[in-house]
């Protein structure tokens, strides 16, 4: 039996590689295997495991299956048509889907917000991008939300800003200095 360099492919419920299979159906059947492997080509030239039940090789079986297979109409749709269907489905069951999502969120709130925070921390660029996109889509709503957030969290935001400024005093000084010089230069030009 040839050993394969490729990643070991396994077959059947027992997940056997061809190396682990019996070479005849009788031993394989006795061992409770689904396949056996002779290493010899079938009458159509495939070198592949064979079924204990039918003695046919899995390649032949696959080809036969493909010939007879009549795909479900859904599988013949283009990706656009599929998207359209999904959208229509969502529209029809919107209330239910939203309720399910909400319930899921409520039940797993703590875990999920931890996960979210972790993800955001690891993907700061993505957050910025999403924020820009939200702004572009509905600038008025975005500004409205930002204002609302600011008013509701004013104290926390200001406290955070104070702390940040205190911790980065030198940076701010440098920035202000640069701003001052730039202004001055612009005025003299
Ligand atoms: Zn075959």
Q: What is the pLDDT of residue 148?
A: 95
Dist CA 85 CA 91 (whole Å): 10
How far is C-alpha 56 from the geometric centre of its chain's CA atoms? Answer: 38
Structure tokens at 18: 């061809």
Beta carbons of 11 and 35 less than 8 angstroms apart: yes
* E strand segments, 27-183: 35-36, 50-51
Tens place of pLDDT per residue across the chain (189 aa): 445 555 788 998 889 999 999 999 999 999 999 999 999 999 999 999 999 998 899 999 999 998 998 888 888 889 999 999 999 999 999 999 999 999 999 999 999 999 989 988 898 888 889 889 999 999 999 999 999 999 999 999 999 999 998 999 898 899 999 999 999 888 887
Q: What is the pLDDT of residue 5?
A: 54
**What is the whole-number distance in angstroms between the Cα of residue 41 and the centre of ligand 1?**
7
**What is the whole-number distance in angstroms between the Cα of residue 67 and the centre of ligand 1?**
14
Beta carbons of 19 and 3 less than 8 angstroms apart: yes
Dist CA 8 CA 100 (whole Å): 42
**What is the whole-number distance in angstroms between the Cα of residue 99 and the centre of ligand 1?**
52
**What is the whole-number distance in angstroms between the Cα of residue 50 and the centre of ligand 1?**
8
Dist CA 154 CA 140 (whole Å): 20
| CB count in 10 Å sphere of residue 11 | 19
**What is the whole-number distance in angstroms between the Cα of residue 72 and the centre of ligand 1?**
26
Task: Output b/e per residue, 102-130; b: 16+ Cβ within 10 A.
Answer: eeeeeeeeeeeeeeeeeeeeeeeeeeeee
**What is the whole-number distance in angstroms between the Cα of residue 51 and the centre of ligand 1?**
11
């Amino acid at each position: 039996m040839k050993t394969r360099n490729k990643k070991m492919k396994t077959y059947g419920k027992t997940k056997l590689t061809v190396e682990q299979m019996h070479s005849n159906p009788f031993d394989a059947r006795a061992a409770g295997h689904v396949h056996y492997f002779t290493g010899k080509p079938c009458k159509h030239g495939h070198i592949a495991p064979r079924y204990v039940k039918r003695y046919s090789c899995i390649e032949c079986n696959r080809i036969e299956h493909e010939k007879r297979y009549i795909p479900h109409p859904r599988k013949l749709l283009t990706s656009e048509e599929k998207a359209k269907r999904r959208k229509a489905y969502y529209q029809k069951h919107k209330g239910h889907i939203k309720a399910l999502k909400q319930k899921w969120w409520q039940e797993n709130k703590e875990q999920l917000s931890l996960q979210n925070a972790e993800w955001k921390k690891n993907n700061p660029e993505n957050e910025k991008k999403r924020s820009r996109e939200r702004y572009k889509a509905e600038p008025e709503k975005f500004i409205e939300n930002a204002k609302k957030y600011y008013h509701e969290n004013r104290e926390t935001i200001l406290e955070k800003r104070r702390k940040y400024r205190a911790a980065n005093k030198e940076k701010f000084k440098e920035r202000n200095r640069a701003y001052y010089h730039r202004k001055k230069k612009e005025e003299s030009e």
